[in-house]
Amino acid sequence: MASGVTIVIVVAIAACVPGVPAYVIARRSGLRNPWVGFIPLLGLWIVLCEATGQSGWLALFVFLPYLGALVLSIWAAFQVPARHGRSRWWALALLVPGPNLVGYWAYAFTLTRLTAEEAIF
């Protein structure tokens, strides 16, 4: 019984680690459904695609073996800061596996809210 509770707690934490910065990026980018960031495995990618003006369906590339997640990670690392008018140096923080989780948290909580003209609807 205790191991079942432990598994539920671990899964909940794993879903929230990328979900919180995705939610914040979605809210500050003016996306209609910021809760999408909490969808396990795919939520962060959906938010990043929509925050750059692309379709959220593009996030399904992450499920392509080998190259899907790599190509989407590189693309997002360069496009997301450019879309928000931030320095290209953010690509380093968003690109390196492992530290990129910290990078997305820092990016999300230092991002200013977009105006109505800049927001994507």
Among positive and negative, which fits the CA dihedral 35, 41, 44, 48?
negative
Give per-residue pLDDT as tens, 75-86.
999 999 998 889
In which band, very low, low, confident or very high, does the pLDDT at 115 lie, cut at 50, 70 and 90? low
Give per-residue pLDDT as tens, 80-113.
999 888 988 999 889 888 888 888 899 999 988 7
DSSP-derived secondary structure letter, 84? T
| Angle at 34 (CA atoms; ends 116, 115), nearest 5 degrees | 15
- Segments making up each domain of the chain, as ranges: 2-110
Share of the chain above pLDDT 70, in %: 92
CA distance linking residue 40 with residue 92, whole number of Å = 24
Residue type at 120 in one-letter notation: I
CA distance linking residue 80 with residue 63, whole number of Å = 20
